[in-house]
Structure 1
């Protein structure tokens, strides 16, 4: 190659690099990479991508759709005004997306399922009845009811019996509507000491005892890793009772690839087993701002099954 050709080709390469850099910067600024749909039904929560997607809930959903997400979830949906719930649902349906879980009843103070306190149990059932209407509004069948604290005044087996009894009542309310309560185990080691439901074997035994299609497990990879580990064997054993997945890396409870969990292997494993359900993004973002959120988006591309 002669000197003039070398200089000309070098200049062209530099120009191409500059254009590529400008495009990357533009994509980072706008938050729009217009990637293809994810194979896994990753389901963001509001405000995880607030710097890229904007503050408005509808703008965030539209941004998610532009970037390959085809599902959404919102833990505290029930606290939003009905008009906002309707606005979210309309946007989801217009974009051909799906809405996943929301919480129907929640407490981190009372032994809501483990005790026999009638007033508390009546409140739970009122929340459950209200959640039916919310689920219809959102066109979803997944309702996450948190089982609350354990009851230190009762032997463990009494607590289990009380919880199973209440879960049967909830299943009876949900079954005619085709709804599914998902129950999540929450780790004692870092985040939620004292919670009644904290291991997958415990949740599995309770689901078997209730024996209803309207009661299943929510397998939060973050919580299970901290409390129990042995993720894929645990998934396999409890597989027939698992209806919903959530992810967050450990330690730190941030996006996948920021901790110790091999999400490439875990998600490929459940995908190969035939799972096509929701995978909720139940975590924070490790690095602040648009750049941190963009890295999280790239991380999800890297763990999407093939």
Structure 2
């Protein structure tokens, strides 16, 4: 069975207190992707004391120049970002190991107009192969995320599950997998349950949110009870994170999320 991961932004308090807020509401995991602001020792202490895992971290760098190169304004669709990408993976991996985090989220960057999509696709593969070597044997995996361009991320390169899976196949590492975000992929292509089932062996992490509005499941058009049941039936053992806002108080929303597992 998968593990539900709360959105850290649902709770009051600082980043460390939120682990305990998640624990009070029955969660075994929580996600706050950014980590540069954290005291990593203090974060690990909160994780251990609360019993709430951190389900993923975003690839980041403390160096402003490297951070600019790996941002979606540039990204790994550009070959000149790959050294900065490798450095960011090294930095984020160190943070992940300190915090006992198993997933590092990676994005592609925005689509370029000066070269073909083939060139950009190939650049992503090359970067991820470098990343795979860096995380090999660590117990941490990279998860590559397609995003929607219709509502939230206009200009972003990687949109479809199919191309993301192709990239993962070309990288050829068990340590590089897909981050499937139900919210983004419902907007981009729909067919959520069949897509998850067809690609579950390549999916390493799952994000959720309802459409429209990106609030918690149950506030939009998606039948999340059926989606969660379908995910469970695949045997997926990873995290399912609520990467979304909330429409009501935290206690009510958290209770409603666990009710989605009652089928």
* Same fold per superposition (TM over 0.5): yes
Q: Which digits, 9 at most, give the CA deviation of each residue in 1:239-271, with x for residues without a partner?
A: 110011111101000011000010000001111
2:24 equivalent to 1:66 = yes
Superposition deviation, residue 113 in structure 1: 1.5
Aligned to 1:204: 165
Structure 1 residues 72 and 157 mapped into 2: Cα distance closer, same or farther (>3 Å)?
same
Aligned to 1:48: 10
Matching residue within 37, 40, 45 for 1:90:
45
3-state secondary structure, aligned to 1:245: strand
3-state secondary structure, aligned to 2:205: strand
Matching residue within 221, 227, 230 for 2:182:
221
Q: Residues of 1 paired with 2:18 and 2:83: CA distance?
A: 36
Matching residue within 275, 280, 297 for 2:254:
297
Superposition deviation, residue 297 in structure 1: 1.7
Check whether the contact 2:208–2:240 (CA below 8 A) recurs between aligned residues: yes
Structure 1 residues 286 and 206 mapped into 2: Cα distance closer, same or farther (>3 Å)?
same
Higher alpha-carbon deviation: 155-164 or 254-263: 155-164
Give TM-score scaled by structure 2 length.
0.91
Aligned to 1:25: none
Larger helix fraction of residues: 1
3-state secondary structure, aligned to 2:8: coil
Superposition deviation, residue 295 in structure 1: 2.9
Aligned to 1:108: 72
Structure of greater Rg: 1
2:247 equivalent to 1:286 = yes
RMSD: 1.6
3-state secondary structure, aligned to 1:226: helix
Matching residue within 19, 22, 37 for 1:80:
37
Check whether the contact 1:45–1:75 (CA below 8 A) recurs between aligned residues: no
Q: Residues of 2 paired with 1:241 and 1:254: CA distance?
A: 26
Superposition deviation, residue 179 in structure 1: 1.9
In structure 1, runs of 5+ residues without a counterpart are: 1-38
Matching residue within 179, 188, 196 for 1:235:
196
Give TM-score scaled by structure 1 length.
0.79
Q: Residues of 2 paired with 1:220 and 1:298: CA distance?
A: 22
Mapping 1:172-211, distance limit 5 Å: 172-211=133-172
Aligned to 1:261: 222
In structure 2, runs of 5+ residues without a counterpart are: 61-69
Structure 1 residues 45 and 86 mapped into 2: Cα distance closer, same or farther (>3 Å)?
farther
Check whether the contact 1:222–1:250 (CA below 8 A) recurs between aligned residues: yes
**Number of aligned pairs?**
254
Structure 1 residues 102 and 305 mapped into 2: Cα distance closer, same or farther (>3 Å)?
farther
Check whether the contact 2:177–2:203 (CA below 8 A) recurs between aligned residues: yes
Q: Which digits, 9 at most, give the CA deviation of each residue in 1:157-188, with x for residues without a partner?
A: 11111111111111111113232000111001
